[in-house]
Amino acid sequence: MKINISVFIIAAMLIGCGSTPTQIDKSQQVTSEEPLPPSASSAQSGSAMTVDTRTNTFNGILVDVVGTPYEYKDICGYRAMDDLIEKEYKLMSTGQSSTFDNFSIDKFIFNFTENGGLVVSTVYSYDKTPSANGGFYPAQSGRVHDWKLEPKYHRHSGGDCSIDFYNDIAVSQAKLNEMRRDPSLEKVYNILLSVAEDMDYNYPAIGRKATFVTLPNGKEPLKGVCDDYSNLLIDRLTVAKINGVSNIQKVTGQNHAWVTLVYKGKTLYLDATWFDKNNIDENGVVDHTPYKDPRNMTFDNEIFTNHNQHHIAGGTRNIGS
């Protein structure tokens, strides 16, 4: 079953693409362990803000990665994770410090912690700045704002099912980006994405009120639950006759359905429902843009099952999954 979660991230396994941990002056640190305020957390995907995957930058600002052996360009691709840096950028570029003389964001740091959490840090500076009462704000260099994100429970129809670890997401995105270099797996990915783009989760079918967007053609998206996502994915994969792909089948368990196939002797796990992950927005409309959660196209059973807590085959199932 789909859920509201704010977890996110990441992209390609490249040999020798590790990052050197950045030294942070803790005496200059400002920490936020709470969610960003509404003004900062309302960042929308598809804005003019850009990631340059050649230089590991966001809007021209360097992004370092700590705690996982990938560069920033390798962990981009998951909408929820990508949104984090945009939210942090908007928070820092519109806050009080941004009005000080020669304010600059020097770099961002994604620090993946051992417990599966993530700290998004912003290193910033500004010059000595006069204040309204005749005093001044002293110059700061290398000051750090930390946004601490703990692993979140991933809720299903059966309750708290499993935990979303940020480092799992990062590794999954990196491996997915690497897989997509294979022509056959790129075709599989494009078909998985096409299902997520064409279908929205049918919340009314499970008793939740929601409306749907109107597409440019004047129609609404296809609607379905996990069975429908899986069936459509199987149909499109079968018609495509992708070289090396065999044994395409639907698997059920834990009131859910997903797809597996065999490629070069290995099982590839695919879940179009959770790859899409449509939430209901504050206006009661199903979010049409896919999140592209990388854990839902993987050869790694440990990641796909969220450490043996999710996607467990067998057992009872019903339409509300």
DSSP label of 279: P
83-98: buried (b, 16+ CB within 10 Å) or exposed (e) per residue? bbbbbbbbbbeeeebe
Task: Report the C-alpha gap between 188 and 18 in whole angstroms.
Answer: 28
> What is the residue whose two structure tokens read 């309750």?
159
C-beta of residue 279 within 8 angstroms of C-beta of residue 64:
no
In this predicted structure, what is the pLDDT of residue 49? 58
- List alpha helices for 199-252, DSSP H: 226-240
Task: Report the C-alpha gap between 318 and 321 in whole angstroms.
Answer: 7
C-beta of residue 296 within 8 angstroms of C-beta of residue 270:
yes
CB-based contacts of 69, cutoff 8 Å, min separation 6:
17, 18, 19
In this predicted structure, what is the pLDDT of residue 265? 96
pTM recorded for the entire structure: 0.79
- Beta bridge partner(s), residue 263: 245, 266
In this predicted structure, what is the pLDDT of residue 177? 95
In this predicted structure, what is the pLDDT of residue 309? 78
| 21-to-31, 65, 71, 84 alpha-carbon distances in Å | 19, 7, 11, 20
In this predicted structure, what is the pLDDT of residue 31? 54
List phi, psi (to 5°) of 152: -115, 150
In this predicted structure, what is the pLDDT of residue 164? 84
List phi, psi (to 5°) of 257: -140, 145
Q: Name the residue among 272, 274, 200 with its Cα closest to residue 233.
A: 272
Please report, in tens digits, the pLDDT of each residue of the chain (321 residues total).
333 333 333 332 222 222 222 333 333 455 554 343 333 333 333 345 566 666 799 999 999 999 999 999 999 999 988 999 999 999 999 988 899 999 999 999 999 999 999 999 999 999 999 998 889 999 999 999 999 999 877 665 555 466 789 999 999 999 999 999 999 999 999 999 999 999 999 999 999 999 999 999 999 999 999 999 999 999 999 999 999 999 999 999 888 899 999 999 999 999 999 999 889 999 999 999 999 999 999 999 999 988 887 888 874 333 334
> What is the residue whose two structure tokens read 């069975």?
227
